[in-house]
Structure 1
Amino acid sequence: MAMAFSSKLQLLFLISVSLIPISLCSNPNRPLSSFKTSTPDVHDLLPNYSLPKGLIPGNVKSYSLNSDSTFTIELTHECYVKFTDLVYYKTVLTGKLGDGEVSDVSGIEVKKLFAWLPITGILVDGSSIEFQVGFLSEKLPASMFQEIPTCRNKEFQQSLLASN
């Protein structure tokens, strides 16, 4: 009799343990990055949304992607990247991913003349990428963003200003 009870208890335990992943997946507010996935790097995730890997610098500490496609990317430190203009990445980047676009962007700024302007949206249009800064925009060749850019520190920005 004790063996039958023990076997039933083991079976009940196995069933309850096997249901834990189902209950975790049913929570739509749980970030997808908290699950084991085949894309551990945010740079590998971007092409799934028709976006190039090089939109985000290489110093990513962590990221989360929610079921509504909103994301948060945490960088190890703030940094500067020189494309055609100098771009500043804060330590936390947020936005919403769509097919070939990123909307509601925060945490990325571009230097235009003497002012830092926030990038609010990014659209990929075939061979070009349009960066939106409020009601203004600028298109750059998508080929500029195929490689993950190296993150530079504040001294890099200051050396660029001194050379101009």
Structure 2
Amino acid sequence: MSIFVLSLFVFATSFYASCTNLTAYDVVQKYKLPRGILPEGVIDYKLNNKTGFFKVYFNNTCRFPIEEYKVKFQPIVSGFIKNGRISRLMGVSVKVLYFWLSIGEVTSDGQELELSVGAASEEFSLHRFATSPQCGCGFYCRELTFSS
């Protein structure tokens, strides 16, 4: 009987360890959102599995373009995540004309990604976010590399 208990303990410990080795990008995908909603450079994250509250940490502020917009991630980004949605998002903003506006919600219907700023929102093709943008050049880094 003690071998059974020991085996169960080893299994449970290894299962827990494998669950905690997820990256922030893995967690986002687990919640049916594309990894590209987070730029490269996440150094750590925290997630409360019961409430869905999360925090993502970067070394510095990260800015990059998405189509005709400029996006800015603060060193700490937080919000509540559930399948296909992040609500009460803090630390991410978009420049519209001359003003930086906070993105408060991100939703995905499986085909498009919608970023909401108050009552206004913009939809983007989900495939655009298959890879993570890089600070500075965003999704256009490869294009800049090949055209140089």
Question: If the TM-score is normalised by the length of the shorter chain, which range does it land in?
Answer: 0.7 to 0.9
- Matching of residues 71-82 of structure 1 within 5 Å: 71-82=54-65
Deviation at 1:134, TM superposition (A): 0.8
- Matching of residues 33-48 of structure 1 within 5 Å: 36-38=17-19, 39-48=21-30
Structure in which a larger fraction of residues adopt helix: 1
Deviations 1:31-65 (A, max 9, x none): xxxx6334431111111111000000111111000
Given that 1:52 and 1:145 are in contact with CA atoms closer than 8 Å, whether structure 2 keeps it comes out as yes
Deviation at 1:152, TM superposition (A): 2.2
Given that 1:83 and 1:144 are in contact with CA atoms closer than 8 Å, whether structure 2 keeps it comes out as no
Task: State the structure with more CA Rg.
Answer: 1
Pick the aligned partner of 1:83 from 54, 66, 84. 66
Q: Whole-Å Cα distance in 1 between the matches of residues 26 and 135 of structure 2?
A: 18
Instruction: State the partner residue of 1:51.
Output: 33
Give the letter aligned to residue 51 of structure 2: D
Pick the aligned partner of 1:100 from 64, 84, 106. 84
Pick the aligned partner of 1:128 from 107, 112, 118. 112
Which secondary structure does the structure 1 equivalent of 2:71 belong to? Answer: strand
Give the letter aligned to residue 64 of structure 2: V
Deviations 1:96-122 (A, max 9, x none): 001100001000000111110000000
- The number of aligned residues is 124
Structure in which a larger fraction of residues adopt strand: 2
Q: Whole-Å Cα distance in 2 between the matches of residues 128 and 148 of structure 1?
A: 16
TM-score (norm 1): 0.69
Q: Whole-Å Cα distance in 1 between the matches of residues 101 and 18 of structure 2?
A: 35
Structure 2 unaligned segments of length 5 or more: list them. Answer: 1-5, 138-148
